[in-house]
Structure 1
Amino acid sequence: MESSAPGKVILCGEHSVVYGYPAMAAPVMGVRCRAWVEAAASGSGLSLVAVDLGERLALRAAPPDQPLAALARLVLAHLGCEEPDAVLTVHSDLPIAGGLGSGAAVSVAAARALAGFLGVTLSPAALSALAYEVEKLHHGTPSGIDNTVIAWERPVYFVKGQPPEVLAIPAPLRLLIADSGIGAVTREAVAAVRQRREAHPAYYEARFAQIGALVSAARAAWEQQDLPTLGQLLDANQALLAEIGVSTPRLEALITAARQAGALGAKLTGSGMGGNIIALVTAEGMPAVADALRVAGAVHVWQTITE
């Protein structure tokens, strides 16, 4: 039984989404995690193989905080099934600690594959809920947006604690994603912002509120097929993310390169402090912006079209 799950980018609303403000995110369909399950010898139990990490371990011997093992246990408990004699293998094209939802993609792909092996098709809501529990191991206090957009594989408008709203797509979004080559640890970035917010609540609440209003405006611009305005709002979101301390000179250099090459807008995506940036581009302008990002030092440049 084989399954896969996409990556994700947050279009706008990072960090403020943790505190109840809206965010928009979209799947990255061309960069995926794959998981497959194969039967094993009777009595062998479930083995877990993480190809990209070079790890293989038995579920029965895995510690509680090992993410893939935690996910497998959650799936088995959810289904009311005994541990099968099988091998669950995961392999991902998504960079680890890049802000593209690699952890949630592994969880969703693995949950879907393991459940399928056991004869059950899990709903997007169930996949999202299971992956969210594992996101807590990765990120401490996650917003829930990664598991939501990856499980549904559709753009979503998300407010923590509310059912996600799957968005109709009035106009395709062409995005370039550029990897800075610097790892981004979401747990650390979220904790750092929380610590600064506790020290300066008025400063941070004002900026979170601004980001929340900007997300609503960005949704309206997309619905009206006004991509130039959407690009300007992505730029404004980036300015606010810089003000709360999660941008870096490396990210800013890539963002500047994209804008100067003709991107409609550009910003970091995910927790920041490393990871990736996104650039909103036209079909005609995509090649020039991609070239500029490579010249500026992007380790990888991917393209995705949300349509």
Structure 2
Amino acid sequence: MPAYYATAPGKIILVGEHAVVYGRAAIAVPVFQVRAKAVINFEPRSAPGKVTLRAPDIGLESTLADLPENHPLAAVIWKCASAMNLSHIPACTIQITSSIPIAGGMGSGAAVSVAVLRAFSASLGHPLSDEQVSQLAYEVEVIHHGTPSGIDNSVISYAKPVYFEKEKKIEILAVKQPFTLVIGDTGLQSPTAIVVSDVCQAWEKAGDQFEHLFDAIGTIAASARKAIEQGAIDSLGALMNENHALLGKMNVSSPMLDKLVEAARSAGALGSKLSGAGRGGNMIALVSPDSSQVVAEALTKAGAKRTIITEIRAA
């Protein structure tokens, strides 16, 4: 039988991280230079229902039966099977690979879930819709992260720039003028759940202060949307700088992130900020196309372990 496969892109949050968990808006965009991939091979000679999972990037090889149901990879398969009303899962091998950094703020977990959901449902002849994939991936994110905003599964499932608010219909952004981002990886893992929990504890202790910060970031997200829709890229850079300063007040930046952010600005970036949970992971810099290599080299010189240059276009 033929193999079935699907891929899903990474993502970065342009503006709005952390505040989005508390009901404010955020903007996220897909990053197609990095991807998760799921390949499914049916095994008709294996015992019925035997599902073997192989994820060499994390050193995992196990049967589905041997994984706890709340394991992210097991959960995504069980949720997909339930959504498709399967009475049993056919014997198969699922191979999962990813070039997306783990715990780096680029949606590695959500991308794996989306790739598996797409490959698994397509292999059984009933491919899920973007909306279904996003919802199921979100449910897996809840197991893994506790209180995710829902932005990762949304932007990765639709693979388009999105304007996102919790409990509201996702909006695909109209990008009037393409713009270029340089992503700088600190090389430091920073699990989202831990940082989100720390922010929550700080919010519980100083609610008024953090609500003010969240409101300010929500205003930045709304302004950034207008800038993108109007092609006002210089304005977008200034908004990114403001957003980074506010995230610093939440104690989610780090010396390395700040160093890379400043290195990008010194090299001519229009704006720069941390992206994702913070404390490690990635930062982003908005650049003119002709300065992208200069900024990328400056980030490498400042200590970035990897850089990615990506262009954001209309959906």
Alpha-carbon distance between aligned partners in 1 of 2:186 and 2:180, rounded to the nearest angstrom: 19
Alpha-carbon distance between aligned partners in 2 of 1:38 and 1:168, rounded to the nearest angstrom: 38
- Of 50-59 and 146-155, the range deviating more from structure 2: 50-59
TM-score under structure 2 normalisation? 0.96
What is aligned with 1:283? Answer: 289
Give the deviation of 1:273 after TM superposition: 1.2
Residue 77 of structure 2 is aligned to residue 59 of structure 1: no
Matched-pair contact (CA < 8 Å) for 2:103–2:192: yes
What is aligned with 1:239? Answer: 245
- Selected match of 1:6 from 2, 5, 9: 9
Residue 303 of structure 2 is aligned to residue 300 of structure 1: no
Alpha-carbon distance between aligned partners in 1 of 2:46 and 2:194, rounded to the nearest angstrom: 42
Give the deviation of 1:240 after TM superposition: 0.2
The aligned amino acid for 1:12 is: V
Alpha-carbon distance between aligned partners in 1 of 2:38 and 2:198, rounded to the nearest angstrom: 33
Alpha-carbon distance between aligned partners in 2 of 1:105 and 1:24, rounded to the nearest angstrom: 17
1:147-186 → structure 2 map (5 Å cutoff): 147-186=153-192
Alpha-carbon distance between aligned partners in 2 of 1:168 and 1:202, rounded to the nearest angstrom: 34
Q: Structure 2 stretches of 5 or more lacking a match?
A: none
Give the deviation of 1:137 after TM superposition: 2.3
The aligned amino acid for 2:204 is: E
1:243-258 → structure 2 map (5 Å cutoff): 243-258=249-264
What is aligned with 1:112? Answer: 118
Deviation string 1:82-116 (CA, Å, 9 cap, x unpaired) is 21110111100000000000000000001101111
- Selected match of 2:203 from 179, 194, 197: 197
Query: SS of the residue aligned with 1:284?
Result: helix
| C-alpha RMSD over aligned residues | 0.8
- Selected match of 2:78 from 73, 77, 100: 73
Corresponding residue pairs, total: 307
Query: SS of the residue aligned with 1:254?
Result: helix
Query: SS of the residue aligned with 2:290?
Result: coil
The aligned amino acid for 2:22 is: Y
The aligned amino acid for 1:5 is: A
Alpha-carbon distance between aligned partners in 1 of 2:224 and 2:92, rounded to the nearest angstrom: 46
Residue 97 of structure 2 is aligned to residue 91 of structure 1: yes
Deviation string 1:228-278 (CA, Å, 9 cap, x unpaired) is 110000000000000011000110000000000001100000010110000
Give the deviation of 1:214 after TM superposition: 0.7
Q: Which runs of 4+ in 1 moved over 2 A?
A: none
Matched-pair contact (CA < 8 Å) for 2:173–2:225: no
The aligned amino acid for 1:156 is: V
Give the deviation of 1:163 after TM superposition: 1.1
Give the deviation of 1:168 after TM superposition: 1.6
What is aligned with 2:29? Answer: 26
- Selected match of 2:18 from 15, 19, 23: 15
Deviation string 1:27-76 (CA, Å, 9 cap, x unpaired) is 00111111110011231511111120111111122102210011000000
- Selected match of 1:188 from 190, 194, 201: 194
Matched-pair contact (CA < 8 Å) for 2:16–2:27: yes
- Of 226-235 and 80-89, the range deviating more from structure 2: 80-89
Deviation string 1:200-239 (CA, Å, 9 cap, x unpaired) is 0110000100000011011111111111110000000000
The aligned amino acid for 2:46 is: S
Alpha-carbon distance between aligned partners in 1 of 2:291 and 2:42, rounded to the nearest angstrom: 48
Q: Structure 1 stretches of 5 or more lacking a match?
A: none
The aligned amino acid for 2:25 is: P
What is aligned with 2:277? Answer: 271
Q: Percent of counterpart pairs with the same letter?
A: 45
1:119-138 → structure 2 map (5 Å cutoff): 119-138=125-144
Query: SS of the residue aligned with 1:109?
Result: helix
Query: SS of the residue aligned with 1:176?
Result: strand
